[in-house]
Amino acid sequence: MIAVVDASVALKWQFEDEEATERALAMLSDYVENAITLIAPGLFPYEILSGINVAVNRKRIGEDVGKEAVNYILSLGVQLRAPHDLFVSAFQLAREHGLSTYDCAYISLAQKESCDFVTGDKKLYHSCSGKLPMVKWLGDYPFTAAPARNSED
């Protein structure tokens, strides 16, 4: 399985007091065990830096912890993909759905790769629900395990 993930998912690997953290950690475990491949557009590291910087500024974590978090998340090797043809697609999606071009970079990559885009941003998920079926809520992870469990009943 391959999935696009955004910074809202990766940041939950460090901030365990947030909603759906247990699902984020399950996804991370699957990734580490090579059960899933995680990809993201090239802006992913900058969004990680921004999220951790905000956490430091708000005194949620200390600066040293922030540096460790940045190094840890970026060391995991989420595959960055930055095809130039995502720009126009992301712009078109943003215009059509009233979303940010940053969020649409992730959606556009998922469309290009024919895979799901998993987000821990509930507002984004609800904005896309019913319109962009490749956008999945992290809290529903694992997506492939549910049918297998039902077939055993």
Q: Is 40 within 8 Å of 5 (Cβ atoms)?
A: yes
Give the 3-state secondary structure of 77-120: CCEEECCCCHHHHHHHHHHHHCCCHHHHHHHHHHHHHCCEEEEC
Q: Which two tokens stand for residue 99?
A: 């979303």
| pLDDT (0 to 100) of residue 85 | 83
Can you give the pLDDT at residue 144? 52
The CA distance from 113 to 118, in Å, is: 13
Closest CA to 14 of 152, 56, 79: 56
What are the pLDDT digits (tens) for 90-136? Answer: 999 999 999 999 999 999 999 999 999 999 999 999 999 999 999 99
Share of the chain above pLDDT 70, in %: 93
- Could you tell me the domains of the chain? 2-144 (3.40.50.1010)
Q: Is the pLDDT of residue 27 over 50?
A: yes
